[in-house]
Amino acid sequence: MLGNFTYCNPTKLYFGDKSLENLDAELAKYGPNVALVYGGGSVKKSGLYDQVIEILKRCGKNVAEIEGVMPNPTLKKLREGIEIARAAKVDFILAVGGGSVCDYSKALAVSVNCDDDPWEKYYVRFEEPTCEIVPVGCILTMPGTGSEMNAGAVITHDVTRQKIGHVFADEAVMPRFAILNPLYTLTLPKRQMVAGIYDIFNHICEQYFSGEDDSTSDYLSEGLMRSLIHSSRIANADPNNYEARSNIMWTATWALNTLISRGKTTDWMVHMLGHAVGGLTDATHGMTLAAVSHAYYSHIMPYGLPKFRRFAANVWDINVEGMTDEEAGKAGLAAMEAWMRELGLAMKTSELGFTADMVEKAADYTIVLKGGYKVLTREEIVEIFKTSL
């Protein structure tokens, strides 16, 4: 049975190759001081930076640039940005980049006007903002995280290397608008494209592999997975295929804008394991998920057999008639793995610089969540990390 829930997503989306045309009107809603946040240079290479600067100037904005936001953005970088944004008295934050830039901008938005230490407040005590939140807008260049339409912000502690996500309950943290132009994603290196694709897929899995109820959300999830598998194969063979790249971008947003988790329990343990690996190795987010997936799903499958059977039949079109649940579940996971290899994803954590001597620390850093088919013990976490190597 569907549980009680609230659904509200205030992010306004502009999708398509003309979507940047809406930026002027959106900027007009906010004050004159804008923090422009971007990454390590891809937006300068692509020419998007110049286009955005031109629009900001045309709109009469004073621009404070926060550049060099790295993949897996760090607390140190966040502190630097807070200083810049405070000095510029920013009224608005414009994120131009991937999930890291967008997440960082949200963490900045809840920290600029806050006297508390952001790490302690948001990533240790998981408190909600008690200060004025600076509004954020996002121009997305990499589909994957869903950060453009959710309230998540993942930050890595630069000293301890703990990578922690906070999904804020306050809707004011969500981007006020997001500009999604699939053309911007065409410059992504293939490795990033496929990492993003697996991130999307896994977001859906995290919400699908939990609960036994007859839930509309699970049917939505199956449709999203089928569309993603289809488009990923086209994009893998022909990265410039606009139709496939636009479908991937749209699926990414729906995979993690809170819709498909409504009314049901969720798992998220692949992300908790992946974040521990990503914190210690600084590896690409989607690759860390791919590399722990086999070990994790093989481990929990016996506790959630009916859903794994359904996954095989409804997502991978496997004829499961006459198979035991276990046989069907295994066949589904084998199909998923074959697809992952086809895309060229990391299948082992050792491919990402994760080593046996990191296992204990990774287990210390893994946050254990309770919504999946099996609440993991520390011994199981250690075992999964060892199997993933």
Residues of this chain that bind Zn ion (CB under 5 A) = 199
Contact predicate 279/364, CB 8 Å: no
Beta carbon nearer to ligand NZQ, 278 or 304 = 278
Beta carbon nearer to ligand NZQ, 286 or 329 = 286
Beta carbon nearer to ligand NZQ, 145 or 251 = 145
CA distance linking residue 132 with residue 45, whole number of Å: 35
Tokens of 305: 């057999």
Taking the complex as a whole, how short is the minimal distance between the CB of residue 86 and Zn ion, in angstroms?
30
Taking the complex as a whole, how short is the minimal distance between the CB of residue 154 and ligand NZQ, in angstroms?
4
Taking the complex as a whole, how short is the minimal distance between the CB of residue 321 and ligand NZQ, in angstroms?
35
- Judged on CB neighbours under 10 Å (0-12, 13-18, 19+), 337 is middle
CA distance linking residue 276 with residue 272, whole number of Å: 6
Q: Which does 71 bind (CB under 5 to 8 A by kind): ligand NZQ, Zn ion, none?
A: ligand NZQ
- Gap between the terminal Cα atoms of the chain: 39
Beta carbon nearer to ligand NZQ, 101 or 384 = 101
Residues that bind ligand NZQ (CB under 6 A): 39-43, 71-72, 97-101, 103, 141-142, 144-147, 150, 152, 154, 165, 184-185, 187-188, 192, 196, 199, 256, 271, 285-286
75-87 vs 99-109: helix crossing angle, rounded to 10:
60
Beta carbon nearer to ligand NZQ, 192 or 388 = 192
Beta carbon nearer to ligand NZQ, 217 or 314 = 217
Taking the complex as a whole, how short is the minimal distance between the CB of residue 135 and ligand NZQ, in angstroms?
17
Q: Which does 304 bind (CB under 5 to 8 A by kind): ligand NZQ, Zn ion, none?
A: none
Q: Which amino acid is at 26?
A: E
Beta carbon nearer to ligand NZQ, 66 or 331 = 66
Taking the complex as a whole, how short is the minimal distance between the CB of residue 109 and ligand NZQ, in angstroms?
13
Q: Which does 100 bind (CB under 5 to 8 A by kind): ligand NZQ, Zn ion, none?
A: ligand NZQ
Tokens 């404070």 belong to which residue? Answer: 64
97: closest CA among 58, 75, 67?
A: 67
Residue nearest to Zn ion (CB): 199
Q: CA quadruple 358, 361, 364, 367: dihedral positive or negative?
A: negative
Taking the complex as a whole, how short is the minimal distance between the CB of residue 271 and Zn ion, in angstroms?
6
CA distance linking residue 35 with residue 196, whole number of Å: 26
DSSP 251: H
Beta carbon nearer to ligand NZQ, 111 or 314 = 111
> 3-state secondary structure string, 173-234?
HCCCEEEECHHHHHHCCHHHHHHHHHHHHHHHHHHHCCCCCCCHHHHHHHHHHHHHHHHHHH
210: closest CA among 143, 265, 152, 281?
A: 265
Q: Which does 147 bind (CB under 5 to 8 A by kind): ligand NZQ, Zn ion, none?
A: ligand NZQ
CA distance linking residue 163 with residue 73, whole number of Å: 9
Taking the complex as a whole, how short is the minimal distance between the CB of residue 28 and ligand NZQ, in angstroms?
26
CA distance linking residue 75 with residue 342, whole number of Å: 36
Taking the complex as a whole, how short is the minimal distance between the CB of residue 101 and ligand NZQ, in angstroms?
6
Q: Which does 95 bind (CB under 5 to 8 A by kind): Zn ion, ligand NZQ, none?
A: none
